[in-house]
Amino acid sequence: METDTQERLSAQIEGRVQGVGFRNFTQMRARQLGVTGWVRNEQDGSVRLEAEGPRAALEELLEAVHEGPRMAQVESVEAEWAGANDEYEGFRVRR
């Protein structure tokens, strides 16, 4: 029986977030938290994150991407919340 409502987190992360292991960092953290979705580099130099799972786990993931891996320098994170669509299996890095 599920006790936590599933939600969707969409986030755009800006700063020095490409070429520093940000996607792998995000994937590892998302898998630890048991959320599904994907992360990818955008052409404008930002990183896009789409994830679904319990609100508490997504909030932890959001907190993690505010920090990023050691070499990253996160300048801003724009996050939007919505209801989950249950469209993802696992969490992956999109290229």
The partner residues of 23 in beta bridges, in order of sequence, read none
Catalytic residue IDs: 23, 41
Domains and CATH numbers, the chain: 6-82 (3.30.70.100)
Kindly report the average pLDDT of the chain as a whole number.
95
Count the Cβ atoms, other than its own, within 10 Å of residue 24.
12
DSSP string for 17-64: -SSSSHHHHHHHHHHHHT-EEEEEE-TTS-EEEEEEEEHHHHHHHHHH
Which residue in this structure is represented by tokens 């990818």? 40
42 band by pLDDT with thresholds 50, 70 and 90: very high
Per-residue pLDDT band for 1 (boundaries 50, 70, 90) equals very low
pLDDT of residue 5: 79
Contact 20, 71 (CB under 8 A): yes
